[in-house]
C-alpha cells in the first residue's frame, strides 16, 4: 500500500560506523513505502558485514560484495561473492551468507525500482515473492486482501523483512494466538490461528530456535487439542491469566490498574523468565481499537482522518477489542496485547511480528487507521482496526496462510526447507479435525464446528500451502 504501511524500525547509524561496514554499498534513504524493510536489510548488512570481516582474511568488504542480479533461489552465484582461499569459480552461498546477499541486493536495487515495487520485491528473493503472492488471495472476499484490487496492497515487503530478521537473529520466539468466537455453535476458539502458529513454532524448533506458545483460558482447550495433533510438546504451551471481566471493561485508570495488578505481575515475571527473547509474534490475535491519542501518534495519517475518526468512533467505543461485526469482545479477549506494548521496556532489541487478515488483529497498528477504515464496510468500520503496531505486519487471506508463509520464508533463507517436509496436507487436515473435535473449535466466519477455516473448505484452504511446498520441492 502507500507510504504509511511500513512501521519504522530504529536506525542504527552509529553501529554501522563502529563496524566499519562498506559505505560504498549505501543508497539514498528510500521512499517511506519501504521504510521498514529498508531498515531491516540495512541492519542485516551491518551485522553480517561485521561477522564477514572477522571471517575473511585480508580481503576488504568491498571486494566481497555479491554482484547484483546473481540472486537466485536462495543462493548467490558469481565471482568474489565470498572470501575464497583458492582460485576458481565461487560456490553458491546458502544459509546466512545468502541472507547477506538478499539484504545487499535490496539496498542497492531499491533506488532503481521504486516505481515498480513488485519487480523490486521479486529481485530481492523470487521465492518469497511467490510465497507472498500465494497468501494474498481472498476467495470469500471477506478480508483486507479483497480490498487490494481497489486500494492497493498492504504492507509490501513485510514478509521478507520479518523472515530475514527471524532467520538470522531468531533464538527464542514467543508466539501468541487464539481468537474466541462467542457467537459460535458452540462458543469456542476459531480454527484460524492455532494451526499456523503450531506449524511455524515446530519449524523454528526443528531449526534450533526455541519457542513458546501463549494463549488465554478461553482458547486454551482448542490450542491444546491442536498441539496434541501436531505432536507439539505441551510443556511449551503457556496459559495467560485472564484478567477479571470488570477490568476488561474498564478504561485506563486507578480501578483498572488495581484489577489488572495480577496480570501485570505475571507479564513482568514472564519477561524476566525470557532473557534470551528475540521475537514476539501474534497470529490471529485480536487487539484493542484506536484512541484519539493512538491515531494522532501514527506517523503517516490520511487526510481528514481525525475528523472522520471522531464521527465514527464514540469515546465509549475506543480502546476496546471488537470483532468484524463491531461488537465489543473485551470479556473474551482480555489484555494479552499488553505483551506487545510492554516488551520493549525490558527487551529493547526484541522485534515484533503481527499476522492477520481482518484489521482487528495485533500488528494492524502498523497501517494508518484511515487506510484500514476505508477498506472495511459497514458502520462499524471505524472501530474494528487494531491500534497495536508491530515492526512487521503480514497481511494474508487467512492468518494461518501468513504463518505458513513466514515459516517457509525463514526455512528457505536458512537453507533448511527440508524441515517443512512433515507438514503435509494430510497432517494439516488432521490438526484441524482434532482441534474441532477435541477443543472444540469453530469456523470463525460460519461459527460452525467443522474443519474449515474462514468459511473455506479444506481443499480450497490448503492450496496456498501446497503451492509453497511445490516451490520448495517438497513432496505432497
The answer to whether the beta carbons of residues 381 and 312 sit under 8 Å apart is yes
Tell which of 65, 96, 124 closes a domain.
Answer: 124
CATH number of the CATH domain containing 467:
3.90.1640.20
How big is the chain by its Cα radius of gyration, in Å?
Answer: 22
Does residue 141 come out as left (phi exceeding 0), alpha (psi in the -120 to 50 range) or beta?
left
Whole domain around residue 24: which residue ranges? 3-124
Q: State the cell numbers at 370.
A: 484511515
CB atoms within 10 A of CB 69: 11
The answer to whether the beta carbons of residues 314 and 365 sit under 8 Å apart is no
Is 101 found in the same domain as 182? no
Q: How far apart are CA 142 and CA 128, in angstroms?
A: 25
Q: How far apart are CA 5 and CA 35, in angstroms?
A: 9
Distance between alpha carbon 470 and the CA centroid of its chain, in Å? 22
**Is residue 88 domain-resident?**
yes
Q: How far apart are CA 351 and CA 281, in angstroms?
A: 9
Q: Cis bond leading into 201, ω under 30°?
A: no
Distance between start and end Cα atoms, the chain: 34
Q: How far apart are CA 386 and CA 197, in angstroms?
A: 20
**Is residue 144 domain-resident?**
no
Tell which of 60, 92, 124 closes a domain.
Answer: 124
Q: State the cell numbers at 125.
A: 528473493
Q: How far apart are CA 466 and CA 404, in angstroms?
A: 10
**Is residue 143 domain-resident?**
no
Is 111 found in the same domain as 177? no
Q: State the cell numbers at 200.
A: 511455524
Is 120 found in the same domain as 206? no
The answer to whether the beta carbons of residues 407 and 134 sit under 8 Å apart is no
Is 93 found in the same domain as 188? no
Q: What is the pLDDT of residue 37?
A: 53
Is 173 found in the same domain as 119? no
Backbone CA torsion sign across 25, 31, 36, 37: negative
Q: Using DSSP, state whether 105 is helix, strand or coil.
A: helix
β-strands 75-76, 172-177 pairing: unpaired
Q: What is the pLDDT of residue 468?
A: 98
Q: State the cell numbers at 173.
A: 520466539
Is 402 found in the same domain as 306? yes
Q: In what order do the strands lie in the sheet with 441-442?
A: 180-181, 188-190, 441-442
Backbone phi and psi for residue 464, each to the nearest 5 degrees, phi listed first: -60, -40
How many residues does the structure list for the chain? Answer: 476
Is 41 found in the same domain as 182? no
User: Quick one: which of 154, 122, 159 has its CA closest to 138?
Assistant: 154
**Is residue 289 domain-resident?**
yes
Q: What is the pLDDT of residue 440?
A: 97
Q: What is the pLDDT of residue 141?
A: 78
Tell which of 99, 124, 149 closes a domain.
Answer: 124
The answer to whether the beta carbons of residues 325 and 354 sit under 8 Å apart is no
- Helix (H) / strand (E) element for 338: namely helix 338-346
**Is residue 148 domain-resident?**
no
Q: Using DSSP, state whether 12 is helix, strand or coil.
A: coil
Those residues whose C-beta lies under 8 Å from the C-beta of residue 298, and which sit 6 or more positions away, are 4, 365, 368, 369
Q: State the cell numbers at 49.
A: 558485514
Q: State the cell numbers at 451.
A: 474443519
**Is residue 332 domain-resident?**
yes
Report the predicted TM-score, pTM, of the whole model to 2 decimal places: 0.79
Is 319 found in the same domain as 229? yes
Q: How far apart are CA 44 and CA 31, in angstroms?
A: 19
The answer to whether the beta carbons of residues 355 and 283 sit under 8 Å apart is yes
Is 188 found in the same domain as 114? no
Q: Cis bond leading into 186, ω under 30°?
A: yes
**How many domains are contained in the chain?**
2
**Is residue 157 domain-resident?**
no
β-strand partners of 352: 280
Q: State the cell numbers at 463.
A: 492450496
Tens place of pLDDT per residue across the chain (476 aa):
333 333 333 343 333 333 333 333 333 444 444 455 555 555 555 444 443 333 333 332 232 222 222 222 222 222 222 233 333 333 334 454 455 555 545 544 444 444 455 555 666 688 999 999 999 999 877 789 999 999 999 999 999 999 999 999 999 999 999 999 999 999 999 999 999 999 999 999 999 999 999 999 999 999 999 999 999 999 999 999 876 654 444 444 433 445 678 888 999 999 999 999 999 999 999 999 999 999 999 877 666 789 999 999 999 999 999 999 999 999 999 899 999 999 999 999 999 999 999 999 999 999 999 999 999 999 999 999 999 999 999 999 999 999 999 999 999 999 999 999 999 999 999 999 999 999 999 999 999 999 999 999 999 999 999 999 999 999 98
**Is residue 442 domain-resident?**
yes
Is 35 found in the same domain as 175? no
User: Quick one: which of 152, 3, 36 has its CA closest to 390?
Assistant: 36
Is 84 found in the same domain as 197? no
Q: How far apart are CA 426 and CA 220, in angstroms?
A: 24
User: Quick one: which of 283, 342, 295 has its CA closest to 319?
Assistant: 295
User: Quick one: which of 94, 69, 64, 98 has its CA closest to 79?
Assistant: 64
Is 241 found in the same domain as 182? yes
Q: What is the pLDDT of residue 57?
A: 33
Residue 359 Cα distances to 259, 378, 380, 404, angstroms: 28, 14, 12, 19
Q: What is the pLDDT of residue 304?
A: 78
Amino acid at each position: 500500500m502507500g507510504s504509511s504501511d511500513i512501521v519504522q524500525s530504529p536506525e542504527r547509524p552509529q553501529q554501522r560506523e563502529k563496524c566499519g561496514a562498506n559505505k560504498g554499498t549505501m543508497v539514498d534513504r528510500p521512499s517511506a513505502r519501504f521504510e521498514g524493510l529498508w531498515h531491516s536489510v540495512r541492519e542485516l548488512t551491518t551485522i553480517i558485514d561485521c561477522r564477514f570481516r572477522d571471517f575473511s582474511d585480508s580481503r576488504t568488504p568491498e571486494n566481497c560484495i555479491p554482484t547484483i542480479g546473481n540472486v537466485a533461489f536462495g543462493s548467490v552465484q558469481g565471482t568474489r561473492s565470498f572470501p575464497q582461499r583458492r582460485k576458481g569459480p565461487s560456490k553458491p552461498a546458502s544459509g546466512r551468507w545468502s541472507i547477506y546477499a538478499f539484504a545487499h541486493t535490496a539496498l542497492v536495487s531499491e533506488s532503481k525500482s521504486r516505481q515498480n515495487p513488485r519487480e523490486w520485491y521479486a529481485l530481492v528473493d523470487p521465492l518469497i515473492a511467490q510465497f507472498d503472492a500465494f497468501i494474498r488471495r481472498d476467495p470469500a472476499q471477506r478480508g483486507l486482501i479483497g480490498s487490494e484490487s481497489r486500494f492497493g496492497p498492504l504492507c509490501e515487503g513485510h514478509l521478507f523483512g520479518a523472515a530475514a530478521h527471524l532467520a538470522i537473529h531468531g533464538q527464542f520466539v514467543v508466539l501468541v494466538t487464539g481468537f474466541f468466537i462467542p457467537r459460535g455453535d458452540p462458543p469456542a476458539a476459531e480454527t484460524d490461528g492455532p494451526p499456523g502458529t503450531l506449524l511455524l513454532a515446530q519449524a523454528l524448533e526443528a531449526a534450533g530456535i526455541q519457542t513458546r506458545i501463549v494463549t488465554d483460558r478461553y482458547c486454551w482447550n482448542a490450542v491444546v487439542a491442536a498441539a496434541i495433533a501436531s505432536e507439539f510438546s505441551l510443556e511449551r504451551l503457556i496459559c495467560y491469566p485472564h484478567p477479571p471481566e470488570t477490568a476488561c471493561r474498564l478504561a485506563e485508570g486507578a480501578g483498572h490498574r488495581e484489577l489488572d495488578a495480577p496480570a501485570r505481575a505475571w507479564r513482568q515475571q514472564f519477561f524476566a523468565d525470557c532473557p534470551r527473547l528475540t521475537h514476539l509474534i501474534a497470529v490471529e490475535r485480536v487487539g484493542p481499537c484506536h484512541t484519539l491519542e493512538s491515531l494522532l501518534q501514527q506517523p503517516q495519517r490520511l487526510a481528514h482522518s481525525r475528523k472522520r475518526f471522531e464521527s465514527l468512533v464514540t469515546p465509549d467505543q475506543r480502546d476496546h477489542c471488537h470483532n468484524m461485526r463491531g461488537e465489543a469482545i473485551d470479556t473474551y479477549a482480555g489484555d494479552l496485547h499488553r505483551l506487545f506494548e510492554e516488551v520493549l521496556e525490558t527487551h529493547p532489541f526484541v522485534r515484533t511480528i503481527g499476522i492477520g487478515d481482518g484489521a482487528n488483529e495485533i500488528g494492524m497498528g502498523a497501517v494508518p487507521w484511515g487506510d484500514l477504515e476505508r477498506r472495511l464496510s459497514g458502520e462499524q468500520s471505524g472501530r474494528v482496526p487494531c491500534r497495536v503496531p508491530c515492526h512487521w505486519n503480514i497481511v494474508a487471506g487467512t492468518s494461518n496462510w501468513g504463518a505458513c508463509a513466514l515459516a517457509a520464508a525463514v526455512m528457505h533463507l536458512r537453507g533448511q526447507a527440508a524441515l517443512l517436509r512433515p507438514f503435509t496436507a494430510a497432517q494439516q487436515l488432521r490438526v484441524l479435525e482434532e482441534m474441532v473435535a477435541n477443543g472444540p473449535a469453530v469456523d470463525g466466519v460460519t461459527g460452525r464446528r467443522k474443519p474449515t477455516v474462514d468459511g473455506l473448505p479444506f481443499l480450497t484452504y490448503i492450496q496456498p500451502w501446497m503451492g509453497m511446498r511445490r516451490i520448495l520441492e517438497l513432496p505432497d
